[in-house]
């Protein structure tokens, strides 16, 4: 799996950063899942390597405009293109009425179905939000001025590496039989020979995990959600120097984001959702924010628009 940042600014766009949105490309399918959809997201998609026709799920963290104002426009464009077969939208309970109202008021009729999933109960009861045979999604309540939710996407363990040389040495013909053996199944060949797939595979490979937390001040639930994750993307709106403002507005500082990564034993942290007050022309720059976080959690990177990062 990999992620592409489509917007990394907090509150309002800047000349170099759009407001919040992130695309996740799944490794085991051609699907793209979108996390938040601030104003201008569809323009950002057009400038990136993301194909909007591959978007199948959209996860919204909360109802502030810099995270949702781009959603009606994106859905309308997907409707005009005729490429979408349907989209599942996960988010707070008010999201359905916001989207339906915007589409109705603008006389927009979509050519595909929308399936809304309200996440409140899943978060409060620690229930799995989505699951199939390859992946599962969990969510958790964050601490912001309005209800906000973090999301975790976890791949299930994958089969071990298949020993093709061994299979060929035993004169097992390539084809669907290899897939069955890789899945650990017992197979019977046409010549009557029987093989156990477990004899041809290495140990299972651990699936990758990705966590997205914004907007929030430091939260124990974010730590729990991020336990042992491969990659944590966490908001870092304020510098350490502006900690009092962070508590006032219920956003995170660089130190709070790094502390979340440290306590959760995350492998890698990328900080995003930076306040526009921090530019290369100001006293505190984005590079300074990165250095602050790295003091607490060295394996930290700084997000920028169109940055693509592998989960592992």
> Among residues 60, 58, 59, 54, which one has the least CA distance to residue 85?
54
- Assess whether 288 carries a catalytic annotation: no
* CATH code at position 91: 3.60.15.10
Confidence grade of residue 83 (pLDDT, cut at 50, 70, 90)? low
| pLDDT value, residue 79 | 86
6 and 94 together in one domain = yes
How is residue 129 annotated by DSSP?
S
Tell me how many domains the chain contains. 2
The domain of 192 spans 164-200
User: Where is average pLDDT lowest: 23-27, 66-70, 289-293, 302-306?
Assistant: 23-27
53 and 13 within one domain: yes
- In angstroms, the CA 271 to CA 252 distance is 10
- In the block, residue with structure tokens 């950063």: 17
Same domain, 258 and 280: yes
pLDDT one-digit tens code per residue, 164-187: 999 999 999 888 888 888 878 899
pLDDT at 103: 96
CA distance 216 to 121: 19
Instruction: Indicate whether 174 and 236 sit together in one domain.
Output: no
- Are residues 124 and 265 part of one domain? yes
Q: Is 136 exposed, middle or buried (0-12, 13-18, 19+ CB in 10 A)?
A: middle
Pair (271, 228) in one structural domain = yes
Annotated active-site residue in 66, 215, 230, 305: 66
Q: Are residues 36 and 182 in the same domain?
A: no
Q: What is the pLDDT of residues 215-265, one digit of tens each?
A: 999 999 999 999 999 999 999 999 999 999 999 999 999 999 999 999 999
Confidence category of residue 60, pLDDT binned at 50, 70, 90: very high
Please say if the pLDDT value at position 162 is more than 90: no
Task: Tell me, yes or no, whether 182 and 71 share the same domain.
Answer: no
Q: What angle do CA 162, 168, 171 make, to 5 degrees?
A: 135
In the chain, the largest separation of any two C-alpha atoms, in whole Å, equals: 76
What confidence tens digit (pLDDT) does each residue in 261-302 have? 999 999 999 999 999 999 998 999 999 999 999 999 999 999
Q: Which long-range contacts (CB under 8 A, 24 or more apart) does 174-178 make?
A: none
pTM as predicted: 0.90
Would you place residue 194 in the very low, low, confident or very high pLDDT band (cuts 50, 70, 90)? very high
Are residue 106 and residue 180 in the same domain, yes or no? no
Starting from the edge strand earliest in sequence, which strands make up the sheet with 32-37, in order?
114-118, 87-91, 55-59, 32-37, 21-25, 2-7, 308-310
Does residue 143 share a domain with residue 231? Answer: yes
Nearest residue to 226 (alpha-carbon basis) of 131, 303, 140, 128: 140
């Amino acid at each position: 799996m990999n992620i592409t940042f489509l917007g990394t600014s907090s509150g309002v766009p800047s000349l170099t950063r759009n407001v919040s949105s992130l695309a996740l490309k799944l490794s085991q399918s051609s699907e793209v899942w979108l996390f938040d959809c601030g104003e201008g997201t569809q323009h950002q998609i057009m400038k990136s390597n993301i194909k909007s026709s591959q978007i199948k799920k959209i996860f919204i963290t909360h109802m502030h405009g810099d995270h949702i104002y781009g959603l009606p426009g994106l859905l309308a464009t997907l409707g005009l293109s005729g490429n979408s077969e349907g989209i599942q939208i996960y988010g707070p309970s008010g999201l359905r009425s916001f989207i339906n109202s915007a589409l109705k008021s603008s006389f927009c009729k979509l050519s595909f179905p929308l399936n809304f999933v309200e996440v409140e109960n899943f978060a409060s009861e620690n229930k799995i939000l989505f699951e199939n045979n390859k992946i599962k999604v969990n969510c958790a309540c964050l601490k912001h001025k309005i209800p906000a939710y973090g999301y975790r996407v976890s791949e299930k363990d994958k089969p071990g590496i298949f020993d093709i040389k061994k299979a060929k040495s035993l004169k097992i013909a390539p084809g669907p039989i290899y897939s069955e053996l890789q899945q650990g199944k017992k197979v019977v060949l046409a010549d009557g020979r029987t093989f156990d797939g477990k004899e041809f595979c290495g140990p299972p490979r651990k699936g990758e995990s990705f966590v997205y937390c914004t907007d929030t001040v430091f939260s124990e639930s974010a730590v729990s959600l991020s336990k042992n994750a491969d990659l944590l993307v966490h908001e870092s709106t304020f510098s350490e120097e502006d900690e009092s403002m962070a508590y006032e507005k219920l956003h995170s500082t660089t130190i709070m984001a790094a502390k979340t990564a440290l306590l959760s034993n995350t492998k890698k942290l990328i900080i995003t959702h930076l306040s526009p007050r921090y530019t290369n022309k100001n006293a505190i720059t984005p590079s300074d924010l990165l250095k602050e976080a790295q003091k607490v959690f060295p394996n930290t990177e700084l997000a920028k628009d169109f940055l693509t990062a592998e989960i592992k």
